[in-house]
Structure 1
């Protein structure tokens, strides 16, 4: 049985979703004050139905990591990720004049149902000098709050349109020369106690860095709570026909994070006036799930 949700909108700041007395998610669209961290909306805090925290915010090693965000680390010479910029031959450099931002322009749809929240947001991607490079339509859906499953789901989609009169070039630190550093695209940073967490895909526990798979799961164990939580990141079926193939970027030892990288090994270009789209699902669950349970869940929860 699906549980009802409560939605609170603090206008100009954030949207909060609660169920069973727990704040499951806050979607913050008021820009943080530090331009160096690439100002953009993000989802944090994120919690399981039992209230266990499963997102990190401004960790000391990467202050620009904030829950779940849409990012683009290498975009036509600009950094829409935040923080250090990877420079071929010079490792990471502090280049504040390369840091872009994503501006919240408004909501085209804001629908609250008993068991689901649907929002459609308009954003503009702005390079460091103030030029508008891209417009984005972002759809976020919170749904499937199911106590019996011990889980709830977040769908996040992007449709990005090039506003420039030249192609936008999407890359990553790996396309710039750093091995196995393909982070870009939708990115999740876990809490520090998830360091050393278990990562697996459809074929079980294996090295998933740079691999392709329809889904990836991350199981972390909490400090103090005597509990584990699982996050499952999944591609929508239409991503198989997206502008560019995606690979998983994942770390679990010191900096627990997952990115669904759309430009891990190769750059791709978006011509002027054209658009691309991706859609993803994040399942937030109490307990340590295994691949069998993930598969059963995904088969029983289809895509609209």
Structure 2
């Protein structure tokens, strides 16, 4: 693919799709209509490499509330903004009337500039009981790498607690389930990525990385049909309060991972406080050795810095 491939986009009032040189690489559903028990919220799916390989899953039969890449919090006080049943200490998973919803309110900005696509929108968070608990401004940016074999999503969420009370944000681990601290920006991979390779900054691989801290983590999977590989890397911004975060990651029985800032310790989200978290997600064609992963991680960090400079300008 030419390094000069243009980024274009189209919107259908519920989602937008971004194209790179005519190849659809990302669709973001910002006004979700999923069932209440799946905690309707914005999500990215499908996600594709510049070679056209799909690297995300939507509503897999084992966890229908998994949606490509989404900002999802399972233990938001007593409420669940992840979807599915809630883990309760001594009771295992329980279906409770606590699945919240993130509602799109308005698009604040959308368009292309200096080779990238940007989108910003306002959301409100509502509990299943009908309480308005969060106002959020979410900002996204998609840009292509100069080499033409990868692209980067910068994801920023600024949540303001408007509930009138402090909220404890945690995970199943803070509720008592060992090494299950998921929650945050979460990626679910396609079915054929089961058995893929989880890789950390020091070259450590495998599910032993779950619960460890690091500035980034990557997953390399292989596709059915074409037998090609793809790489997904997520980098945590140094400005995030829990940086470097603990990571949740699995290769079996399915592929998933993400930074989990509330993995093992509850965080108090004070009434009136605004909590900001920023990440860079790199979607790359092909397999990746440690040298390439280090290069992708450096590019991701630069993308986060570029976004910070733009925000502060």
TM-score (norm 2): 0.92
Which aligned pairs between 1:184-203 and structure 2 lie closer than 5 A? 184-203=183-202
- Give yes or no for the alignment of 1:181 onto 2:180: yes
Quote the offset at 1:245 in angstroms: 6.0
Instruction: Rate the CA distance shift 1:300–1:272 in 2: closer, same or farther, 3 A.
Output: closer
Paired with 1:181 and 1:229, the residues of 2 have a C-alpha distance of 26
Instruction: Rate the CA distance shift 1:296–1:228 in 2: closer, same or farther, 3 A.
Output: same
RMSD of the TM alignment (CA)?
1.4
Paired with 1:243 and 1:130, the residues of 2 have a C-alpha distance of 30
Paired with 2:294 and 2:148, the residues of 1 have a C-alpha distance of 13
Conserved in 2, the CA contact under 8 Å of 1:2 and 1:145? no
Paired with 2:299 and 2:163, the residues of 1 have a C-alpha distance of 42
For 1:127, the equivalent position in structure 2 comes to: 127
The alignment partner of 1:175 has SS state of coil
The alignment partner of 2:276 has SS state of strand
For 1:154, the equivalent position in structure 2 comes to: 153
For 2:76, the equivalent position in structure 1 comes to: 75
For 2:309, the equivalent position in structure 1 comes to: none
Quote the offset at 1:237 in angstroms: 2.3
The alignment partner of 1:72 has SS state of strand
Quote the offset at 1:149 in angstroms: 4.6
Question: Number of paired residues?
Answer: 299
- Give yes or no for the alignment of 1:271 onto 2:273: no
- Give yes or no for the alignment of 1:117 onto 2:123: no
Quote the offset at 1:271 in angstroms: 1.1
The alignment partner of 1:217 has SS state of strand
Q: Deviations over 1:121-177 (max 9, x none)?
A: 11111111111101111110001244x351011010111111022101101000000
Quote the offset at 1:77 in angstroms: 0.4
Paired with 2:246 and 2:290, the residues of 1 have a C-alpha distance of 19
Which aligned pairs between 1:1-304 and structure 2 lie closer than 5 A? 1-11=3-13, 13-95=14-96, 97-113=97-113, 115-146=115-146, 148-206=147-205, 207-239=208-240, 242=241, 246-300=245-299, 302=302, 303-304=305-306
For 2:311, the equivalent position in structure 1 comes to: none
Instruction: Rate the CA distance shift 1:52–1:243 in 2: closer, same or farther, 3 A.
Output: closer
The alignment partner of 2:218 has SS state of strand
Unaligned runs of 5+ residues in structure 1 are none
TM-score (norm 1): 0.95
Q: Deviations over 1:93-128 (max 9, x none)?
A: 122x11111011111111223621111111111111
Paired with 2:149 and 2:237, the residues of 1 have a C-alpha distance of 22
